[in-house]
Amino acid sequence: MVGMFEFAPEEFIVEEITKEGLVLELDKQIEKEGDGNLEKDYFTHFILQKREWNTLQALSAISRALHIGAKRLNFAGTKDRNAITTQLCSAFAVPSEKILSLKIKDIQINGAWKEKEKVRLGDLLGNRFTITLSKENCGKNVEAEKIKKNASKNNYCIPNYFGQQRFGSMRGNSHLIGKLMLQGKYEEAVLNFLCFPGDDKLGAEARKQLEKEKDFAAALGYFPRHLKYERTILGQLAKNPRDFIGAFRKLPRTLQLIFIHAFQSFLFNELLKKRVEEKRLFVGAIGDFYCNSDSYGFPEIDSAKAIEDYAEATAVNERIQSGSCFLAGHLIGYETDLTQDEAFLLEREGIEKEAFRLKSMPELHSKGSLRPLFVPLKDFAVLFPSPVKIGFSLPSGSYATVAIEELKVI
């Protein structure tokens, strides 16, 4: 499953676009000379193609096959499990021949070469998607002409909502946990993480029993082994039943941050929804942020600045229509200069801006940042009429499932 859709891997193909604008095409071997003079302290960059593996699971399998620690492997962006995907990765001080000779089911390497620097998270422009749509995976009949017409609206741009995956693919409660953490309600946050329903039958029954009994030590005896993060928290609480913050700290820091980021994403989606309803998505006003488009045609968020006067607003709106400019909105943090809408939303949610300092867990603090309010469906095309196959590219951090929803497939 990808978001709310039931795609087979062959129906959902994701090809990463490198920061240089190169599409890492499916099944295409790429040969690069790299820096062959490097003998030590080098990184081997490699193109990973995988089917029905998520990125972390695939790299874990690769690290085991190479007999190295997983921390020696890096990647530019995460990719879904239920798909066929390509992406750029790197391995510290592993000869390219060893990587090219890997034999792991549903994993192939489409090129490897030496470089001085590792691949870093975010070292990509975006992703190219090739998606087959049908009644079986979307729940309704899909019409090619209708999709083509909807895609062409608004100059082939769509609202840049966060997809359902951001809030937890199985249970959809990551933002609820984040909100409770921001409110300092760590006991409630832990119980939400442990007891919120929505996954497989074994997990659901265990969560229901724990919610009723509140016996963390006993829960270790019946919580399924595959719920390893839940069991990690239960292990800490079995030793110290009131140490809820300490229990959270036993989780990987990336997972701890996911909860905070999910709530920021929820706020962003709420504000974006209001803007869409008020027909202000493509209209900049004084105080709004805007950014330029990069050489690939995607939003260049690092160039963002605020509209200062009416003349600048007029110029920005002209550029929006030409596709050379994008509006941006806040991912709210403690340094965000709140708009009236943002202040009202925080009040509604019972959160103060200063809460993003997370005084009890300051390592998770968030100053806030900006995110494009809309993004282009670059190179959109209907590739095949029946079953409908579409292709398009999106910038890093944008969701193909959101694009499908916006095309009125569902």
Query: Hey, which residues are catalytic here?
Result: 80
Domain boundary among 254, 272, 304: 254
Q: For residues 147 and 14, state if they share a domain.
A: yes
Report yes or no on 3 lying in a domain.
Answer: yes
Residue 75 inside a domain? The answer is yes
Residues 211 and 110 in one domain: no
What amino acid occupies position 372?
Answer: P
Q: Which pLDDT belongs to residue 170?
A: 82
Here the tokens at position 318 are 């002209």
CA gyration radius, the chain:
23
In a domain, 163, yes or no: no
Residues 54 and 150 in one domain: yes
CATH number of the CATH domain containing 241: 1.10.1510.30
Report if pTM > 0.75.
yes
Residue 393 lies in a domain: yes
Q: Identify the domain boundary among 254, 289, 324.
A: 254
Q: Which amino acid is at 75?
A: F
Residues 249 and 317 in one domain: no
Distance (Å, rounded) from C-alpha 101 to C-alpha 87? 18
Residue 198 and residue 246 share a domain: yes
145 Cβ contact list (under 8 Å, min separation 6) = none
Domain boundary among 199, 220, 254: 254
Together in a domain, 18 and 121:
yes
Residues 275 and 364 in one domain: yes
**Other CB atoms within 10 A of residue 147 CB:** 19
| 138 and 225 in a common domain | no
CATH of the domain at 122: 3.30.2350.20
In a shared domain, residues 127 and 201: no
pLDDT for the residue 4: 61
- The reply to whether 259 falls in a domain is no
Note the pLDDT of residue 134. 87
What pLDDT is stored for residue 410 in this prediction? Answer: 47
**Nearest-5° Cα angle at 14, 9 to 19:** 160
Is residue 168 in some structural domain?
no
Between the alpha carbon of residue 90 and those of residues 43, 70, 75, 83, 122, the distances in Å are 6, 11, 6, 21, 13
Indicate whether 111 and 15 sit together in one domain.
yes
Domain extent, residue 38, equals 1-155+378-410
| Each residue's pLDDT tens digit, 116-156 | 999 999 999 999 999 999 888 887 788 899 999 999 988 99
pLDDT at residue 1 in the model: 43
In this structure, the answer to whether residues 129 and 61 fall within a common structural domain is: yes
CA dihedral (49, 53, 59, 64) positive or negative: negative
Per residue of the chain (410 residues), what is the pLDDT tens digit?
Answer: 455 678 999 999 999 999 999 999 999 999 887 776 777 889 999 999 999 999 989 999 999 999 999 999 999 999 988 999 999 999 999 999 999 999 999 999 999 999 999 999 999 999 999 999 988 888 778 889 999 999 998 899 999 999 998 998 789 999 999 999 999 999 999 999 999 998 677 799 999 999 999 999 999 999 999 999 999 999 999 999 999 999 999 999 989 999 999 999 999 999 999 999 999 999 999 999 999 999 999 999 999 999 999 999 999 999 999 999 999 999 999 999 999 999 999 999 999 999 999 999 999 999 999 999 999 999 999 999 888 999 999 999 999 999 999 997 64
Assigned domain for 164 exists? no
Residue 19 in domain? yes
Domain identity same for 249 and 268: no
Instruction: Report the number of distinct structural domains present in the chain.
Output: 3
